[in-house]
């Protein structure tokens, strides 16, 4: 029998990040249970794992209870792109909040370690730059992004209350914008939008004047950080920022994508969505100190790999 001794649940495992995480876990010999309702994820993302003895897939919505026997839980279930999380905002909050309660209840019953995929959105439109974990954020509680931002903030609250109240081994990572192969081509996030538009020779749509900034982390770096956090010392709960501290305006990103693709697409401007954060960059001092982690893939190299993925996808 294979040495499948660590049983790991990945909720949202058929999504962009979840599928990369499942792949890494299966590769290292874990027994992986991928739980997904396929709202934004797809079977295609995990098809290559289907024949692995250490991989199992369940169609399940985390807003409903889940009874399984496991050792670790990575809770990633939640649409991440503004277009998708605003499609059914009530369901988005339910997924974050009820989903967290169910996964924490599961962790409590089976005494599993549990990691929450939180987000830089908990900082909202920040007045502290770069963002440090001790900053409480500036979030609109009643806007279009609130279903996601407040849902994720409440999930963090639940994680820390289960830790204090029930001595659970919780781990919270705040993920900054991450990109790479297996992003959904229509998911509306900026890297996939720009790359797909550039490859198709369509106009590249910058929202607003393009002076807003983001920091982009390549998916392999991010997954490495998540794994290190899950295996970190028992009493370290986070929250810890995971992201790439390189900061770019959307105009700079568009120009980079056009260069990497070799595209002649025009850059056009479209209205800026409400509550769109002006600037975002992680302070990763804590991740460096506690996890010995920092990103290693440059934006140019990460974009090359991402463009290659979308080029194959669009021509297939
Ligand atoms: P994604 O949309 O590709 O993946 C989310 C997955 O969760 C999908 O497979 C979807 O079908 C599944 N899901 C949604 N609602 C569910 C439910 N109720 N029950 C079961 N499954 C459900 O997004 P992603 O980029 O892979 O993000 C994964 C996680 O990381 C999310 O929690 C997101 O908030 C967080 N995150 C991602 C980023 C990023 O830049 N990619 C940044 C910050 C935080
Ligand atoms: N839960 C679950 N799987 C389990 C154990 C619990 O999905 O293996 C859910 C259960 O539906 C409950 C939630 O987790 O609503 C919270 O569980 P907890 O034990 O913390 O609270 P209680 O059951 O007392 O409400
Ligand atoms: N954006 C853009 N054009 C697009 C998609 C997004 O200019 O086609 C901008 C968006 O307004 C935001 C930034 O890119 O300022 C990042 O957007 P994304 O939806 O990827 O992530 P988030 O806003 O959640 O960081």
Average pLDDT of the segment spanning 160-173: 98
CA 292 from centre of chain: 20
Average pLDDT of the segment spanning 228-248: 97
| Ligand 1 proximity of 93 Cβ (cutoff 6 Å) | no
Tell me, in angstroms, the distance from the centre of ligand 3 to residue 168's CA: 35
Residue from 114, 131, 237 nearest 175 by CA = 131
Residue 1's pLDDT is: 41
Average pLDDT of the segment spanning 92-112: 98
- Joined together, the tokens standing for residue 7 give 């049983």
Do residues 206 and 270 make contact, with C-beta atoms less than 8 angstroms apart? yes
Ligand lying nearest the CA atom of residue 176:
1
Residue 187's pLDDT is: 87
| Ligand 2 proximity of 106 Cβ (cutoff 6 Å) | yes
Ligand lying nearest the CA atom of residue 75:
1
**Of 59, 79, 244, best ligand 1 pocket probe by most atoms within 8 Å of the beta carbon:** 79
Q: How do beta strands 72-75 and 7-11 pair?
A: parallel
| Ligand 1 proximity of 38 Cβ (cutoff 6 Å) | yes
Name the percent of the chain in helix, strand, coil, to the closest 5.
Answer: 40, 20, 40
Tally helices (H) and strands (E) across the chain: 9, 13
Residue 201's pLDDT is: 96
Confidence of residue 75 (pLDDT cuts 50, 70, 90): very high
DSSP 8-state assignment for residue 44: G
pTM summary value: 0.97
pLDDT at 4 over 80: no
Confidence of residue 316 (pLDDT cuts 50, 70, 90): confident
For 138-182, the DSSP string reads B--TTSTTHHHHHHHHHHHHHHHHHHHHH---EEEEEE--EE-TT
**Of 9, 40, 68, 91, best ligand 1 pocket probe by most atoms within 8 Å of the beta carbon:** 40
Residue 2's pLDDT is: 45
Residue from 44, 61, 50, 1 nearest 26 by CA = 50
Ligand lying nearest the CA atom of residue 274:
3
Ligand 3 pocket at CB < 6 A: 81-82, 177, 189-190, 193, 205-207, 212, 214, 250, 272-273, 276
- Joined together, the tokens standing for residue 271 give 């209205």
DSSP 8-state assignment for residue 267: E
Which atom of ligand 2 lies closest to the CA of 65? 7
The string of pLDDT tens digits covering residues 7-61 is 999 999 999 999 999 999 999 999 999 999 999 999 999 999 999 999 999 999 9
Confidence of residue 141 (pLDDT cuts 50, 70, 90): very high
| Ligand 2 proximity of 73 Cβ (cutoff 6 Å) | no
- Joined together, the tokens standing for residue 192 give 């996939």
Residue 304's pLDDT is: 98
| Residue with CA nearest ligand 3 atom 17 | 190
| Ligand 2 proximity of 68 Cβ (cutoff 6 Å) | no
Tokens 């969505």 map to which residue? 273
Contact residues for 58 (Cβ-Cβ < 8 A; gap 6+): 33, 34, 35, 36
CA distances 293 to 17, 57, 142, 222, 227, Å, are 18, 30, 35, 10, 10
Confidence of residue 275 (pLDDT cuts 50, 70, 90): confident
Distance CA(88)–CA(205), nearest Å, equals: 24
Q: How do beta strands 213-214 and 248-249 pair?
A: antiparallel
Tell me, in angstroms, the distance from the centre of ligand 2 to residue 104's CA: 7
Average pLDDT of the segment spanning 94-112: 98
- Residues β-bridged to residue 34: 10, 57
| Average pLDDT over the chain, rounded to an integer | 96
Which residues are the active-site residues?
A: 148
Residue 312's pLDDT is: 96
Tell me, in angstroms, the distance from the centre of ligand 1 to residue 23's CA: 16
| Ligand 1 proximity of 77 Cβ (cutoff 6 Å) | yes
């Amino acid at each position: 029998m294979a040495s499948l001794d660590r049983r790991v649940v990945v909720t949202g495992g058929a999504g962009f990040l979840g599928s990369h995480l499942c792949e890494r876990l299966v590769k290292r010999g874990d027994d992986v249970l991928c739980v997904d309702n396929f709202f934004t994820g797809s079977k295609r993302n995990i098809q290559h794992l289907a024949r692995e003895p250490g991989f199992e897939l369940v169609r399940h919505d985390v807003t409903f209870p889940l009874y399984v026997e496991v050792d670790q839980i990575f809770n990633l279930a939640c649409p991440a792109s503004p277009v998708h999380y605003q499609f059914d905002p009530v369901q988005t909050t339910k997924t974050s909040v009820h989903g967290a309660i169910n996964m924490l209840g599961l962790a409590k019953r089976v005494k599993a370690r549990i990691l929450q995929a939180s987000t830089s959105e908990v900082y909202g439109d920040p007045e502290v730059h770069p963002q440090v974990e001790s900053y409480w954020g500036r979030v609109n509680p009643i806007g279009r992004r609130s279903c996601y931002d407040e849902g994720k903030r409440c999930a963090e609250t639940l994680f820390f209350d289960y830790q204090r109240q029930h001595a659970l081994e919780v781990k919270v990572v705040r993920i900054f914008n991450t990109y790479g192969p297996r992003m959904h081509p229509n998911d509306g996030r900026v890297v996939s939008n720009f790359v797909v538009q550039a490859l198709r020779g369509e106009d590249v749509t910058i929202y607003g004047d393009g002076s807003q900034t983001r920091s982009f982390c390549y998916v392999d770096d991010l997954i490495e950080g998540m794994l290190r956090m899950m295996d970190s010392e028992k009493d370290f709960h986070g929250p810890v920022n995971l992201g790439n501290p390189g900061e770019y305006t959307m105009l700079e990103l568009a120009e980079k994508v056009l260069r990497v693709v070799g595209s002649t697409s025009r850059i056009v401007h479209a209205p800026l969505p409400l509550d769109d954060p002006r600037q975002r960059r992680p302070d990763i001092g804590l991740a460096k100190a506690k996890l010995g982690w920092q990103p290693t893939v440059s934006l140019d190299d990460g974009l090359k790999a991402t463009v290659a993925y979308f080029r194959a996808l669009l021509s297939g």
